[in-house]
Amino acid sequence: MCERLEKLCYINLLQFTFLTHDWQKVDSVRSITKFQSFLNTATVSQQIHNDQQWMIEACQLAKYAAQQDEIPIGALLVTAQGERLAAGWNQSIQTHDPTAHAEIVALRAAATAVKNYRLPNTTLYVTLEPCVMCAGAIIHARIQRVVFGAYDAKMGAAGSRFDVLRDTRHNHQVECIGGILQEECGDILRQFFRAKRFK
């Protein structure tokens, strides 16, 4: 697991470098040894651990969505101090609302709680890479980080299909980390759709 996360962090840093054309940063990370040394710092190790723990909770929300016969995606919004601000899961079918994705539900709940549509210095954890619609809402809310589990090759807007969240043409860019508990998050979706096919 640790080795996989190290590779994941390295790939994400290289993706960021390529997208922002920060070639000086490329030179600085060409030394794998230095980068691995960076990964071994207590701060990074703790952040990876925190991301995994929050993603486990997001997975529980996704499973709850599946029980409601909704596409199983869960999301959590967490403050910089490590406090859960809001949670959400897909509710489009039950609410007859095409915008009621897990991310949007969580953002709405958080904005209502703090009485502000801006939610800076927060991290959004979601079990599937956000779509374009959710990415737009994330940018408007000024979310600092998005951490997601499974990649979405067809609709993903955090680097897979589109890269809306890190597009430098926007007045706000979001730090994106993907692949946290990727297999677990993907399995929830696969099991849901497999059960649908055999009904």
Per-residue pLDDT tens over the stretch 64-118: 999 999 999 999 999 999 999 999 999 999 999 999 999 999 999 999 999 999 9
Per-residue pLDDT at 34:
55
> Annotated active-site positions, please?
103
Alpha-helix residue ranges (DSSP H) falling in 68-101:
92-95
In whole angstroms, what is the distance from residue 183 CA to residue 177 CA? 15
Per-residue pLDDT at 48:
81
- Of 63, 64, 57, 65, the closest CA to residue 86 belongs to 57
- 16-56 per-position pLDDT tens digit: 444 444 444 445 545 555 555 655 666 777 888 899 999 99
In whole angstroms, what is the distance from residue 73 CA to residue 95 CA? 15
pTM of the model: 0.79
- Residue 1: alpha-carbon gap to chain centroid: 19
